[in-house]
Amino acid sequence: MTAFPVRRPRRLRRTPALRRLVAEHDLTPRRLVLPVFVKEGIAEAQPIASMPGVSQHPVEDLPGIVDRAAAAGIGGIMLFGVPEHRDANGSAAVDPDGILNRAIAVAATAAAGRLTVQADLCLDEFTDHGHCGVLAGDGSVDNDRTLEVYAQMALAQASAGADILGLSGMMDGQVAAVRAALDAAGRSDVVVLAYAAKYASAFYGPFRDAVESTLQGDRRTYQLDPTNGREGVQEALVDIDEGADIVMVKPAGPYLDVLAEVAAVSTVPVWAYQVSGEYAMIEHAADAGVIDRERAIGESLLGIRRAGAEAILTYWALEVAEWLRDGRPLA
């Protein structure tokens, strides 16, 4: 007599209704954050060739983007600025009239509390050498002098109306320095999102086109080495200790193990950034006809959720939120 299986996991997969009922994870629009590139001195949106479907925007586009984002119910937008002029110290980053600070002000007014306005707090878009900090005489990135600039940048972004500051520069002590500066200025209300475990990654390639990066060389002296998992957890714990309100792992897809480990130990919310290269891979593969675009997008986001991200920065935030609103399944 044949020994039939007693355990039959397929039973719960038989119909769409059963599968829907037992789904462990899902995504909701409130968990999505849209990164937006705002460029100084342009009159119309300019498509970014390496990121099909993503553009650099004039600041005037922001109210419309914010309205669409609010209607889609997403959690926020993360602003990046592309300035016309760059210098050694990234001075446009601390100037209230600098492109990013102007963009924050316009977005905050348009948002009127309907979603959060977040700003990238890093110098790489503003320095002529393209590094995330200011340089010492020997050409290395000067950690502690950079902290002083980050503190000023934080105050400028807070004054412009940002709800959340995204500290992406990977300088030691950046969370503590920014928190102290905000608190001393009476801005203990402003949220610090620490890009706690940010890896030195090839997957930032298309982003560097998007912000017209001038970087020569790489960021390996400050971003994490892809060989290290435990160090990513340590970075998150250090940032929590320094006062981070939220910690993030970035990129997401290639670092799901780090994300899961951080999610297991964090006492604060854990987010992930699905970066430009992760976006571009799926878009270009879909374009070549080798992958089902929408299912691949859905799967990539569900993987990040399964690993433990409570919110996800993704260039598909608006599109996916609109699918969810229309009741379409993700995968």
Q: Which residues bind ligand PBG (CB under 6 A)?
A: 120, 122, 124, 168, 204, 207, 219, 275-276
Q: Distance between CA 58 and CA 86 in Å, rounded?
A: 18
Q: Distance between CA 207 and CA 326 in Å, rounded?
A: 30
| Minimum CB distance to ligand PBG, residue 76 (Å) | 15
Q: Which of 250, 274, 317, 324 is catalytic?
A: 250
Instruction: Check if the beta carbon of residue 160 is closer than 8 Å to that of residue 104.
Output: yes
Q: Is 198 among the catalytic positions?
A: yes
| Minimum CB distance to ligand PBG, residue 142 (Å) | 17
Strands 164-167 and 46-47: unpaired
Q: Among residues 20 and 85, whose Cβ is nearest to ligand PBG?
A: 85
| Minimum CB distance to ligand PBG, residue 135 (Å) | 16
Q: Among residues 48 and 59, whose Cβ is nearest to ligand PBG?
A: 48
Q: How far is CA 10 from CA 14, 18, 54, 299, 307, in A?
A: 7, 11, 40, 20, 23
Helices 62-72 and 317-325 cross at an angle (nearest 10°) of 40
Amino acid at 322: E
Structure tokens at 97: 């009239």
Q: Among residues 34 and 182, whose Cβ is nearest to ligand PBG?
A: 34
Q: Distance between CA 82 and CA 219 in Å, rounded?
A: 19
| Minimum CB distance to ligand PBG, residue 122 (Å) | 4
Q: Among residues 120 and 242, whose Cβ is nearest to ligand PBG?
A: 120
Backbone phi, then psi, for 64, in 5-degree steps? -65, -40
Instruction: Check if the beta carbon of residue 88 is closer than 8 Å to that of residue 127.
Output: yes
Instruction: Check if the beta carbon of residue 155 is closer than 8 Å to that of residue 185.
Output: yes
- Residue closest to ligand PBG (Cβ): 207
- Please provide the DSSP assignment of 203-234 as one string: GGHHHHHHTT----S--TTTSBPTT-SHHHHH
| Minimum CB distance to ligand PBG, residue 234 (Å) | 19
Q: Among residues 61 and 120, whose Cβ is nearest to ligand PBG?
A: 120
Q: Among residues 8 and 217, whose Cβ is nearest to ligand PBG?
A: 217
Sign of CA dihedral 280, 282, 284, 287: negative
Sign of CA dihedral 284, 287, 290, 291: positive
Q: Is 39 among the catalytic positions?
A: no
| Minimum CB distance to ligand PBG, residue 4 (Å) | 50
Active site members? 198, 250
